[in-house]
Amino acid sequence: MTSERQMRQEPAYRCLQKLRGLVEKENVSAGIIAEVDKAMDLLKARNDFCEQQTTRPSQDLQQLMKSTLQHDWQKAHDQGQLDHIPNTLMMSGNLEVQFFRTLASLGNVKRVLELGLFTGVSALALAESLPEDGKVISCEIDPYIANLARSFLDKATSGKKVEILNAPAQESMERLAQKKQQFDLIFLDADKPSYVQYYKMIFELGLLAPKGTILVDNALFFGDPYTKERFMGEIGDGVTQFNEVVKDDNTVHKVMLPIRDGIMMIRRKEDVD
């Protein structure tokens, strides 16, 4: 079932929560309160229905997701191994990763670059759809999380297809470009204020292979890009700016998908027209 934390990514749900509190204070009829509750339940039900209709994750993916949720993040923080406690909402959900797997299987994808690894859910999901000689290169800046992800991936059958680069994404991208490496699929899910920089570097460094695709996570980031509420402050501003840059880029074909917290698909215009 969709959690309350997940639903708060949806601005309409947050508005309904406020409305629920207001109607209680105003002592309105039970019928109106019931309709507000029904609207909130319907938003949850739609999410749950989409999840139920989607192929279930592999045993390896289920175990990785479970390990992420059960990990003692507080202890790692208290011991000084992490400078902050990660929000497990950063972990890609099954609906999202099955969408990624489908795209990877459709497009003869063999090489994937991931900017922002966290515990490796999306990396493993993509690796599961790659051929035996396929590879996912994931960039992760935090050494503790990179090592933790490696330990999780080593327990999965397809985890061997994932290589982790523990360095700032910009440095890793430059090193990959120096080696003339290109990728059929690039998944952008790193720090939001740097989205524009990563996007420009992908093309400037020639990292996207011919007929390649860029997938961008959190493109609707808590609704900030279209509500202008600044619910997520400067972080949301980064995503908003990124969306504007892509919208104004006439060299690419783009489509915004309202999957979970938003996914943007980007391809070169000549590969679509």
pLDDT mean across residues, the chain: 96
Percentage of the chain beyond pLDDT 90 is 93
pLDDT band at 157 (very low <50, low <70, confident <90, very high): very high
Please report, to the nearest 10 degrees, the dihedral formed by the alpha carbons of residues 214, 59, 81, 196 taken in order: 10
Instruction: Categorize the per-residue pLDDT at 25 as very low, low, confident or very high, splitting at 50, 70 and 90.
Output: confident
**What's the distance, Cα to Cα, between the start and end of the chain in Å?**
40
Per-residue pLDDT of 203-222, as tens digits, reads 999 999 999 999 999 999 99
Mean pLDDT of 158-173: 98
Q: What is the mean pLDDT of residues 119-138?
A: 97
DSSP code of 254? E
Number of H helices and E strands in the chain, helices first, is 12, 7
pTM of the model: 0.95
Q: What pLDDT does 114 receive? A: 98
pLDDT in tens, 63-99: 999 999 999 999 999 999 999 999 998 999 999 999 9
DSSP conformational letter for 55? P
How many CB atoms are located within 10 Å of the residue 200 CB? 12
